[in-house]
Amino acid sequence: MTEALASKTCTPCRGGIPPLTREQVELFHAQAPDWQLAEESHRIERSFRFRNFREALTFVQEIGELAEAEDHHPNISFGWGNATVSLQTKKIKGLHENDFIMATKIDRIFARMTKA
């Protein structure tokens, strides 16, 4: 099921639509289980660990490239050996399918980086 989300592309969200319902969030969350639900299911977040600053920086740079390609931009904080990524569709002040698409793609980046 994660394959399905990771193969999708984010669609432009112009606002004016409701955020995902709690039930919809749970269905998508099952496809990105390492992400934590936050703010009463209006945001998802995940922390990542690395061996050093360079790996964390490379990870953040790759997420930046993905965010530009998908036109869906997370909040990211990082430092020596760690990065935290937070996703929310700001125009609807909640979660959208795009947030879970990005989460699964970010998971793939992390898996590829830590596999080596």
Residue 7, pLDDT > 90, answer no
Residue 98, phi-psi category: left (phi > 0), alpha (psi -120 to 50), beta (remainder):
alpha
Residue 22 identity (one-letter amino acid): R
Architecture of the domain spanning 2-6+20-93+107-115: 2-Layer Sandwich (3.30)
Q: pLDDT for 46-80, tens place per residue?
A: 999 999 999 999 999 999 999 999 999 999 999 99
Closest CA relative to residue 98, chosen from 16, 25, 22: 25
pLDDT for res 2: 52
State whether residue 73 is helix, strand or coil: coil
What residues have CB less than 8 Å from 103, skipping those under 6 apart?
A: 5, 32, 35, 44, 46, 87
